Amino acid sequence: MVMMNKVDDNPSRAERAHATRELILTAAERLFAEHGVLAVSNRQVSEAAGQGNNTAVGYHFGTKADLVRAIARKHLAQIEEIRQRMVADIGDPADVRAWITCLVRPVTEHLAEVGSPTWFARFGAQVMTDPTLRPILVEETQSSPSLVRILSGLNACLSDLPDDVRAERYDMARQLLVHMIAERERALADNTPTPRASWHDAATGLVDALVGLWLAPVTNDS
């Protein structure tokens, strides 16, 4: 007779805690993407994560903002890893397209790695748009050394652009990246046709567009 049905695997206390943390994270990510971050209560997250009680989220993460931050951290860390590699491998530091590729591909590659269905893109787009959640993601993003590296690389390539326009177009690139991957993710979830067959191809399309956007001539006045 077995002592308990737990003997087959030996989940240490820390392991079990980590496991439920992961369960909560993925459940929350899915629910947030599907129904909206604010429309989902901590209770629903706990239940969807298979936790019988409603305290699970509060116990492991605290407030919902903390949960959002944890989800963001998890993905951003993996994206940062890919991005660091790509930045390190960059060939010609005067090539605008190379820097833009470093901006786009780590994200799409991460989504491709996670495998369908993904929820992070829709989650991220929502968080960036919500006035109360946005600062969380902005804060977590700013702490990326590879991103500031890319920024300075782009600045060097585009030194003839006015500072304001550079800042403006960097904003545009961020918005485009965040919301276009969310759009594609939505289409995949809805079985709606997508203009590109894979995340890789979608990234190509984005890079094409961003290169054009960044190199576009600047109208002085009017």
Residues near a second copy (CB under 8 A): 33-36, 38-39, 122, 125-126, 129-132, 164-165, 167-169, 171-172, 175-176, 179-180, 182-183, 186, 195-196, 200, 204-205, 207-219, 222
Question: Measured between alpha carbons, how far is 152 from 72 in angstroms, rounded to an integer?
Answer: 24
3-state DSSP assignment of residue 115 = coil
Residues 53-92 that bind DNA (CB under 7 A): 53-56, 58-60, 62-64
Q: In angstroms, give the least distance from the CB of 141 to a second copy.
A: 15
* Nearer to a second copy among residue 60 and residue 75 (C-beta): 75
- Answer with the entry of a second copy, DNA, none that 73 interacts with (C-beta below 5 to 8 A by kind): none
Whether 201 contacts 112, CB under 8 Å:
no
One-letter identity of residue 124: G
Q: How far apart are CA 176 and CA 185, in angstroms?
A: 14
Nearest to 64 by CA among 133, 125, 137, 17: 133
- State which residue, 148 or 218, has the beta carbon closest to a second copy: 218
Q: Which residues of 104-127 are buried (b: 16+ CB within 10 A; e: fewer)?
A: bbbbbbbbbeeeeebbbbbbbbbb
Nearer to DNA, 70 or 147 (CB): 70
d(CA 105, CA 99): 10
Is 43 a binding residue for DNA by CB under 7 A? The answer is yes
Instruction: Output 8 or 163, the one with its CB closest to a second copy.
Output: 163
Q: List the single partner that 192 binds among a second copy, DNA, none, CB under 5 to 8 Å by kind.
A: none
**Under 8 Å between Cβ of 64 and 129:** no
User: In this structure, which long-range contacts are made by residues 162-169, counting pairs with CB atoms below 8 Å and at least 24 apart in sequence?
Assistant: 162/218, 165/218, 169/213, 169/214
**What character string, x for contact with DNA (CB under 7 A) and - otherwise, covers 119-138?**
--------------------
Smaller CB distance to DNA: residue 36 or 93? 36
Q: CB of residue 131 vs DNA: minimum separation in angstroms?
A: 16
Per CB under 7 A, the list member of 1, 2, 8, 14 interacting with DNA is: 14
Q: Which residue lies nearer to DNA by CB, 57 or 181? A: 57
In which region does residue 10 sit, left (phi positive, over 0), alpha (psi from -120 to 50) or beta (all else)?
beta
Min separation Cβ 125 and a second copy, Å? 5
One residue of 31, 42, 180, 182 binding DNA per CB under 7 A: 42
